[in-house]
Amino acid sequence: MNSYTFRTLDGGTTTVDAPTVDAFAGALRGDIVAADHPGYDEARAVWNGMVDRHPTLIARCRGARDVQTVVRFAAEHGLLTSVRGGGHHIAGNAVADQGLVIDCSAMRDVHVDPERRSARVGPGALLADFDHEAQAFGLATPLGINSTTGVAGLCLGGGFGWLSRRYGMTIDNLVSADLVTADGERRTVSGERDPELLWALQGGGGNFGVVTAFEFRLHPVGPMVYSGLVVYPFAQAEQVLRAWRDFTATAPEALTVWTVLRKAPPLPFLPESVHGHEVVVFPLVHCGDPADGERAAAPVLGFGEPVGSALGIQPYAAFQQAFDPLLTPGGRNYWKSNSFSTLNNAVLDLVINAAATLPDPECEVFIAHVGGAMARVAPTDTAYAGRDAHYIMNVHGRWSRPEQDDAVRDWARRTFSAAAPHGTGGGYVNFLTEDEGERTQAAYGVNYARLQAVKQRVDPRNLFRSNLNIPPQAPEAAA
């Protein structure tokens, strides 16, 4: 190529000549990928198959110095820039159309210090990478539920999963971070060194720079835990969901029980007669002594008359991968999410109605029971403000045929809208889709103006805007 055309921060375009790009590429330990590269289509693909964007250049970084070089290049030329970790976010913000992608997916190192119970994690690490290393010492930190999720994006948006009722959110266990800010400088951010910026990273998304290393606090978990699934026929949905709701009100924090309404996959412990038919599934994990877990989880088997169950002692890391076959990369995805402080019967009824009208066999509705340690943090203690959410519902539209796009999105939107009057009004940014930018301010609530002030300090040009964006505070507001 003789030159490269990029979208710019001011909404226009600019052209960078080939010698300039060649010099930029030569300064990297990693490499760059343009449209004529044989690996371009693979490099631009992300987990959500609905995202089909064509960046001008993808800079595949190998370390923090590479990230600094790319950030400085982007800032110098005013280029629309995005940051890729695991590439798992539903909105596909990792890929900037006709922009520059800072691709950190190769930076997957995880170093565990079992004596200090801490882990230092690269921005490209996936949950499976983290669990593989930490579980060697019987340690873990709260992460998500799909092992191909990137640790970086999960954490920066808040992060919750099976351990959150006992040990809080991912951000509650973030001790420090190495951050490259919009000026290309590397900062070590911690409670002692720039606590306000650490606060912003605890849920504020990728708005403040590129994290090149995370330091997490670890907790004793596993390696064996009591966990598994209990499945009920859909005809019992009203009964078992109400029983589950009542059970969660007093469940011990070491036990997490969620509910998923979907068509039954062909799991070996389920009779063939329910395969492909709607069911109510209760996945559960106890992160303490397995014998205590069996006793604590016993009531789940009595919500009704199960059609099948698979409960027992298994590796925690294995359960973290249990849902991977249903969440493979490349599927078409559209999500809508509501948060609730309590679940009334009206919400449970509309969830049942949504599950009775699934537009595609891969679609589902799940409700995560959270609260516990996650709820004991004040809403202003971290950028993530939704501490009043004890239940988080995700209307998970997933399908493979483009002709189903409208039907699935309409179903998800209808379900979300029907549930919204019963919710907290907030949201979990990791579940927000590309067309929900207007929900960003509501998601951060009382913390939004404070986040804007941090943004103004570290990224006044809004270089890092390919995200659920928090714009810099206007000068008059700062005054």
Give the single-character DSSP code of 471.
Answer: P
Please determine, for residue 1, whether its predicted confidence score (pLDDT) is greater than 90.
no
**What token pair was written down for 168?**
């809080």
Task: Categorize the per-residue pLDDT at 475 as very low, low, confident or very high, splitting at 50, 70 and 90.
Answer: low
pTM of the complete model: 0.95
Please give the pLDDT value at position 477: 58
For the chain, how are helix, strand and coil distributed in percent, rounded to 5? Answer: 35, 25, 40
Encode pLDDT of 41-89 as tens digits.
Answer: 999 999 999 999 999 999 999 999 999 999 999 999 999 999 999 999 9
Encode pLDDT of 462-473 as tens digits.
Answer: 999 999 999 998
Task: Categorize the per-residue pLDDT at 434 as very low, low, confident or very high, splitting at 50, 70 and 90.
Answer: confident
What is the C-alpha separation between 364 and 361, in angstroms, rounded? 8
Please give the pLDDT value at position 377: 97
Encode pLDDT of 338-383 as tens digits.
Answer: 999 999 999 999 999 999 999 999 999 999 999 999 999 999 999 9
% of the chain residues with pLDDT over 90? 94
Q: Do the Cβ atoms of 109 and 89 come closer than 8 Å?
A: no
Q: Hey, what long-range contacts does 7-16 have (CB within 8 A, 24 or more apart)?
A: 7/79, 7/80, 7/96, 7/97, 7/98, 7/99, 8/77, 8/78, 8/79, 8/80, 9/78, 9/79, 9/80, 9/461, 9/462, 9/463, 9/465, 10/78, 13/98, 14/77, 14/78, 14/79, 16/77
In degrees, rounded to 5, the angle at the alpha carbon of residue 349 between the alpha carbons of residues 344 and 354 is: 130
Task: Categorize the per-residue pLDDT at 122 as very low, low, confident or very high, splitting at 50, 70 and 90.
Answer: very high
Choose between 202 and 474: higher pLDDT: 202
Among 108, 106, 80, 109, CA closest to 93: 80
Give Cα separations from 384 to 75, 202, 375, 441 (angstroms).
28, 7, 11, 11
Domains of the chain by range and CATH? Answer: 3-103 (3.30.43.10), 110-220 (3.30.465.10), 224-437 (3.40.462.20)
Give Cα separations from 61 to 58, 271, 305 (angstroms).
9, 48, 53
* Over residues 394-422, mean pLDDT: 96
Please give the pLDDT value at position 437: 75
* Element at 232 (helix H, strand E): strand 224-233
Please give the pLDDT value at position 439: 87
Choose between 397 and 475: higher pLDDT: 397
* Over residues 192-214, mean pLDDT: 97
> How many residues does the structure list for the chain?
479
Task: Categorize the per-residue pLDDT at 476 as very low, low, confident or very high, splitting at 50, 70 and 90.
Answer: low
% of the chain residues with pLDDT over 70? 99
Mean pLDDT of the chain, nearest integer? 96
Among 398, 388, 412, 224, CA closest to 320: 224
Half-sphere exposure of 46 (CA within 13 A, CB side): 30
Encode pLDDT of 313-335 as tens digits.
Answer: 999 999 999 999 988 999 999 99
